[in-house]
Structure 1
Amino acid sequence: MSSAVHIVALGARTPVGLTAASSAAAVRARISRLKLHPHFVDSTGAKLRGAIDGVMDPLVQGVARLVEFATHSINEVASQLPTDLAKGPRPIPLFLSVPEYRPGFSPNDEARLVNELQLKIPYRLSVTIAHKGHAGAFAGLELATEMIRTGRSNLVLVGGVESYFHADTIDWLIDNGQLAMDGSRSPFLPGEGAAAVALMSGSLRIPSLAVIRGSHTAIETSLIKTDDVNLAWTLTSVVRQAATSLRLPHEAIDSIWCDLNGERYRTDEWSYVLLRLPQLFRQLHGEPTRYNTAVEFWGDMGAATGALLVVLAVNAWQRLYAKGPRALLFAGSEQGLRSAIVLEQGA
């Protein structure tokens, strides 16, 4: 069996599109769906600004909202798979990234989400919470890759789902100074949505959209919203380990996709990594090393971020606007999870 692990299908639902392809096309066209929420207000009484799903009733909150988003993206992925795989006798493993525990999302909500997801999707799934937060789906990709390489499954799904639009969550963001509003020092604009990807071994002979070249996950202990100083040694190590299979300089990284959302903590952390590991990236004379993010179009996507960045990187190759065949994707969760993945364009 080939040790190569391939991404073979994508699904997404975002404020800018109801499919993976339309979401990526909207980001490419710089179409933004940031707008005023019809009901939520910030602490000044002004309407809350964020990226909201254009179809679902904005009054729906909590688990019901997350289940709808996740179901939509997983069904899109399953529709691209051969029927004998999507509806085979064995449950399909799904590593799911969900929000970190916070007001508006509790352990009970997590359990309800898993149960309702397995009941609603017309395929047999074995759902495991991979990790949580922005980096959760990348950690899920690492787990899925290992499962395929060790022969425990030929098909694994990885997904992430997020919605900040719960009254308790909005109040929590305001209390922490993270909600974009007048007077906020380092805020972000909330978003919502979901994405999913299917991974398979090369032996199944399904067209490859991308190949997993490397991945790594670790835990940072100097966290955001604390007095600790984060010098990014953990993220540096994670990126370095994810890129160990690259034959430099020939196989330098061409594109960077990440979760930077306007919070200074995240930007500073990435700056340290870039200063320490310049040899990983293809350098164009006279140009800085640039990164790609989509928060200005669909807001901060939290636990859906990792899977959505895969969607964007793969679509850049499919639509021929990528800068080259290799991409680094990285993200960091608030509670310390750091994860990076290196993808290579599929055949």
Structure 2
Amino acid sequence: MKNKPYLSIVSAGLCTPVGTDLLSATAVIRAGLDHFRETDFRDTINQPIIGSQLYDCQIWGPARLIALAHNVIDESLRNIAVDKKYIVVCLLLPEEQRLGFFPQWSKMIADAVLGDFHTSSIAFSRGKAGIGEALPFLQRTLLEQTAQVALLVGCDSYFNAETIRHFMNENRLLHSENSDGFIPGEGAAAVALALADRTHNQVTILGFDTQLEAAHILQTKLPLRVKSLSEAIDHACQRSHLLLSDTQFHISDASGEAFYFKEISLAITRTLKEKVEHYPHYLIAKSLGETGAASSVMILATLFEWMKHPEGPGNSGLMLSCADSGERTAIILQYQGVE
């Protein structure tokens, strides 16, 4: 910690169907509750699709994601007295090639969200894969002292007719004729990051790594060997100077498909070299459904509030993010109290 190489979460914002601010949303997530309801979308036999939707928000298209992003940014910066031009923002958005999310939307959202912030602010339209690019970028920016605070923001929504139809046709969506699928969700999250110090209670990112898996869910030829996820976990542990057995839990963005649960289970079995009595796997999708580009930031925001709680999951943990395109990101986090 002497050279301050680590990123620490100093504040957060969260907007979800189960709560539109950090405290209310994390309370519901910790309790394992949800707000799943029948939506206006229908499956192949005209049965309603279950979703996790912000039902009171009547804005659609890119304006919906812009509103969500502004909501969490305002909450996360509420107690940070730094001019926006000294805050660098990394905005995670849905994949540009996702059906129902049009390429021009990325620029519209980025222009509306990033305009007032540091000139180095950037948007990644890569869905869940964006976290693997965002963390190195933000760490490098803070170490170079080109900005005082870094803000990681993610927002996404699966509630678009073309998007729903695509995932239903690909047998990826949970509906009356497919039990091995995910529940569509939406929401946004933001975490403010600074270089770690010992003056505040904070959740610190001790190590992270991203590897590319060839045997991902979108291909059918290669067998599942979890090589890349296992490597990402090992490298994140090495950089954090912790063994995986030193962590008390793992949490992931898996959202209902058996492929990802099998992959994570095999990777943990391979990398957890010392036997531990209890190593729970927590899921935000249990309360929120599939939240795509927002999911990794939602996990970080949730852990920021949850890990400092007396009945939290533990002082250190492993976070996993697995993108459909093969990117596998592992992050080791630790709650740091004031000495």
TM-score greater than 0.5 by the shorter chain: yes
> Is the 1:134–1:306 contact (alpha carbons within 8 Å) kept by the matching residues of 2?
yes
Structure 2 Cα separation of the partners of residues 55 and 11 of structure 1: 19
- Secondary structure of the structure 1 residue equivalent to 2:174: coil
Among 19, 22, 25, the residue aligned to 2:21? 19
Structure 1 Cα separation of the partners of residues 304 and 101 of structure 2: 31
Note if 1:259 corresponds to 2:253: yes
Q: Which amino acid aligns with 1:106?
A: F
Among 3, 9, 19, the residue aligned to 2:5? 3
The correspondence of residues 295-306 of structure 1 with structure 2, limited to 5 A, is 295-306=285-296
Gapped regions of structure 1 (runs ≥ 5) = none
Deviation of 1:97 (Å): 1.4
Q: TM-score, normalised by structure 1?
A: 0.89
Note if 1:56 corresponds to 2:57: yes
- Secondary structure of the structure 2 residue equivalent to 1:10: strand
Q: Note closer, same or farther for the CA distance 1:259–1:52 as it changes in structure 2 (3 Å cut).
A: same
Structure 1 Cα separation of the partners of residues 8 and 201 of structure 2: 6
Among 97, 100, 108, the residue aligned to 2:92? 97
Deviation of 1:76 (Å): 0.8
Structure 1 Cα separation of the partners of residues 179 and 27 of structure 2: 32
Structure 2 Cα separation of the partners of residues 323 and 27 of structure 1: 12
> Is the 1:96–1:137 contact (alpha carbons within 8 Å) kept by the matching residues of 2?
no
Gapped regions of structure 2 (runs ≥ 5) = none
Cross-structure match for 1:271: 265
Please provide the CA RMSD for this pair: 2.2
The aligned length equals 333
Q: Note closer, same or farther for the CA distance 1:242–1:56 as it changes in structure 2 (3 Å cut).
A: same
Identity of aligned residues (%): 24
Cross-structure match for 2:162: 168
Structure 1 Cα separation of the partners of residues 55 and 112 of structure 2: 23
> Is the 1:6–1:208 contact (alpha carbons within 8 Å) kept by the matching residues of 2?
no
Q: Note closer, same or farther for the CA distance 1:133–1:178 as it changes in structure 2 (3 Å cut).
A: same
> Is the 1:36–1:48 contact (alpha carbons within 8 Å) kept by the matching residues of 2?
yes
Deviation of 1:2 (Å): 2.8
Q: Note closer, same or farther for the CA distance 1:293–1:16 as it changes in structure 2 (3 Å cut).
A: same
What do residues 231-285 of structure 1 show as CA deviations (whole Å, max 9, x unaligned)?
11111111111111445569711121101111121112112211211137x712x
Q: Note closer, same or farther for the CA distance 1:229–1:106 as it changes in structure 2 (3 Å cut).
A: farther
Q: Which amino acid aligns with 1:160?
A: G
Note if 1:211 corresponds to 2:210: no
Q: Which runs of 4+ in 1 moved over 6 A?
A: none
Structure 2 Cα separation of the partners of residues 145 and 322 of structure 1: 26
Q: Which amino acid aligns with 1:118?
A: L
Q: TM-score, normalised by structure 2?
A: 0.91
Q: Which amino acid aligns with 1:243?
A: C
Q: Note closer, same or farther for the CA distance 1:226–1:179 as it changes in structure 2 (3 Å cut).
A: same
> Is the 1:251–1:326 contact (alpha carbons within 8 Å) kept by the matching residues of 2?
no
Among 27, 32, 38, the residue aligned to 1:30? 32
The correspondence of residues 180-329 of structure 1 with structure 2, limited to 5 A, is 180-202=174-196, 207-227=200-220, 228-248=222-242, 252-279=246-273, 283-284=276-277, 287=278, 289-329=279-319
Structure 2 Cα separation of the partners of residues 215 and 131 of structure 1: 20
Cross-structure match for 2:71: 72
Q: Which amino acid aligns with 1:262?
A: G
- Secondary structure of the structure 2 residue equivalent to 1:244: helix
